[in-house]
Amino acid sequence: MPADTDTEATALAAIMAELDALADSIDDRQLEAVAHLLSDADRVFVQGAGRSGFALQMTAMRLMHLGLTVFVVGETTTPAIREGDVLLTASGSGTTGSVVHAAETARSVSARIAAITTAADSPLADLADVAIVVPAATKLDRSGTASAQYAGSLFEQSVVLIGDAVFHQLWKASGLTADDIWPRHANLE
């Protein structure tokens, strides 16, 4: 069956329009607060489940490129979180059990918490020092009102974009050039 390029182009345009609207609705002060938390952290831990977790792994890589010490929760070499560290999390619902539990653990040792969520009144947002609230559908919202995309796609895309925006802000503030950070790029590929 041949691809229908009009449908593909229409789908891409619809996704881009949703992302543009979403970007306009994110509070810049929340982005700056997350960037500040990360830049002051002894170490950064990232955690999310499913596609949100994959999105945060992209952010972890970029933060490592800047020279931050970064760990992905669940990897075998991830140490215990402690005071002075930051846990960067993402959960559309703000109720994902493993993410909320990690935030509770982080809070219990006086680590700081940054959260990306759609739910300002969620357990995760309540635990967070800074919560970026994204006006996107959660994976259980199939109404099509918050997003025409399937499940939590818009939220997960926003996690990638927010991570890249925070990285970009930190990178520009660092004064480092692309050549300065290039040696940290993976070379065992």
Q: Are 90 and 53 in contact (CB under 8 A)?
A: yes
Report d(CA 121, CA 189) in Å as an integer: 42
Using DSSP's 3-state secondary structure scheme, residue 149 falls into: coil
- Candidates 129, 156, 138, 154; CA nearest to 33 is 129
Q: Supply the residues annotated as catalytic.
A: 156
Q: For strand 70-72 and strand 44-48, is the pairing parallel, antiparallel, or unpaired?
A: parallel
